[in-house]
Amino acid sequence: MGTTPLAGLKVVEVGQAVAAPLAGVILAELGAEVIKVEKPEGGDDARLWGPPWVGETGLSFHAYNRGKRGVTLDLKSPADVAQLKTLAKDADILIQNLRPGVVEELGIGPEDMLAANPRLIYCSIWAFGYTGPLRLAPGFDPLLQAYGAMMSVTGGPDDPPTFAGAAINDKTTAMWCVIGALAALRQRDATGQGCVVDTSLFESAVALVETPLNGYLASGRMPPRHGTGSPNLVPYQTFDTADRPICVAAGNQRLWVKFTQAVGHPEWAEDPRFRTGRDRTANRAPLVAAISPVLLERTREHWMEAFTRAGVPCAPVNNLAELAETPQLAAMDLLRTLPGTDLRVVGVPISFDRERPRPRTAAPSLGQDNQQVLNRK
């Protein structure tokens, strides 16, 4: 790739853990210069998140901080706060996810930083948001999965509240932060003025349960949990086969008819209980009970071939080892080796002119760029 989309932008990241650092990684791999500010003693807490470990540093830190320059500032020191303001004077974007209320205490809140640089896009990532009774509450991804009702709609009907395997609120919030920052830059092109961009794990959590929450607001009824199944489409879930599970997505009437033919039961398409999508949703239990023993008669490979031949969308239920070896992952060139290391991590899921951005450097060591950026050792 030639000129990267965000070449020439300067970003200051005062962040730790996942959300702010991931937002910084996205901007860095799109071409921005990202300067990561860490506390001198220990740095970003994620440096100690392992296993796996790379030397004394957890792999998560390497993944979420690649391509950045690294400096240390003690933001309890007025001199270091002044140095941060100097860094931000010619910056385009500042991202912070410090504990709620801390930036105001330190004198690096949006009013202070925009006074130093009126063109700055000041991005705050909160736990619960910039206002309300929980404004100052701390937050981590599982807390927001719990508070934001995500756990209540995940899993089977008899399961306890179930945690999603990925830190989905952290990662979604990072993306919203980047979207907001880029939109604010476009606004600055027109007005010449910076602005404050706020997002939070809570808002992301609510946005992610939008469909079931909208349904509850419309009906007053709590949605049941269907395990791997969709609440609106049937069959649209995983099924066991004679050896390994498969996921089937017969998401419309045409695909339903094809599905019945592929499994050798075309009569199901005319059964009044299953004829339309609404019928199938209303009669989910007897339909799943009819399908399940049929799929158990043959292997996953057999059903993959049968469904693919019939044009019914399906997929194997891969584990991580299987995913890592899929030809599709290799074809999409989604894994990136961090420069100067043998570490492979997932790259940004976007390409420009069919080329995916690459990390320019590995994650910085603590205070690595103090001399070059801050003119001090």
Inform me whether the pLDDT recorded for 353 exceeds 80: yes
Domain range for 123: 10-208+332-374
Q: What integer pLDDT is reported at residue 232 of this predicted model?
A: 86
- Residue positions counted in the chain: 377
> What confidence tens digit (pLDDT) does each residue in 68-106 have?
999 999 999 999 999 999 999 999 999 999 999 999 999
Does 196 reside within a domain?
yes
Q: What integer pLDDT is reported at residue 375 of this predicted model?
A: 83
Q: What integer pLDDT is reported at residue 136 of this predicted model?
A: 93
Inform me whether the pLDDT recorded for 274 exceeds 90: yes
Does 216 reside within a domain?
no
369, 270: one domain: no
Q: What integer pLDDT is reported at residue 129 of this predicted model?
A: 95
> What confidence tens digit (pLDDT) does each residue in 20-35 have?
999 999 999 999 999 9
* Nearest Cα residue to 10 out of 231, 261, 185, 264: 185
Q: What integer pLDDT is reported at residue 145 of this predicted model?
A: 95
Does 220 reside within a domain?
no
Inform me whether the pLDDT recorded for 336 exceeds 90: yes
201, 303: one domain: no
Q: Give the domain-ending residue among 291, 316, 341.
A: 316
* Nearest Cα residue to 335 out of 308, 362, 356: 356
* CATH number assigned to the domain comprising residue 292: 3.30.1540.10
96, 53: one domain: yes
Structural domain total, the chain = 2
> Which pLDDT band holds residue 324 (cuts at 50, 70, 90)?
very high
294, 340: one domain: no
Q: Give the domain-ending residue among 316, 346, 361.
A: 316
Does 1 reside within a domain?
no
179, 52: one domain: yes
Does 354 reside within a domain?
yes
CA distance linking residue 291 with residue 216, whole number of Å: 29
Inform me whether the pLDDT recorded for 133 exceeds 80: yes
Q: What integer pLDDT is reported at residue 243 of this predicted model?
A: 97
Inform me whether the pLDDT recorded for 168 exceeds 80: yes
C-alpha torsion 155→157→161→167, nearest 10: 10
137, 88: one domain: yes
> Which pLDDT band holds residue 55 (cuts at 50, 70, 90)?
confident
18, 91: one domain: yes
**Average pLDDT over all residues of the chain:** 94
Does 274 reside within a domain?
yes
Inform me whether the pLDDT recorded for 377 exceeds 90: no
Percent of the chain with pLDDT over 70: 99
> Which pLDDT band holds residue 275 (cuts at 50, 70, 90)?
very high
- Three-state SS for 57-80 is EEHHHHHHCCCCEEEECCCCCHHH
Inform me whether the pLDDT recorded for 345 exceeds 60: yes
The residues annotated as belonging to the active site are 170
Q: What is the mean pLDDT of residues 297-313?
A: 97
Inform me whether the pLDDT recorded for 376 exceeds 80: no
> What CA–CA distances, in Å, run from 307 to 314, 325, 348, 365?
7, 22, 32, 50
Inform me whether the pLDDT recorded for 346 exceeds 90: yes
Position with higher pLDDT, 240 vs 138: 240
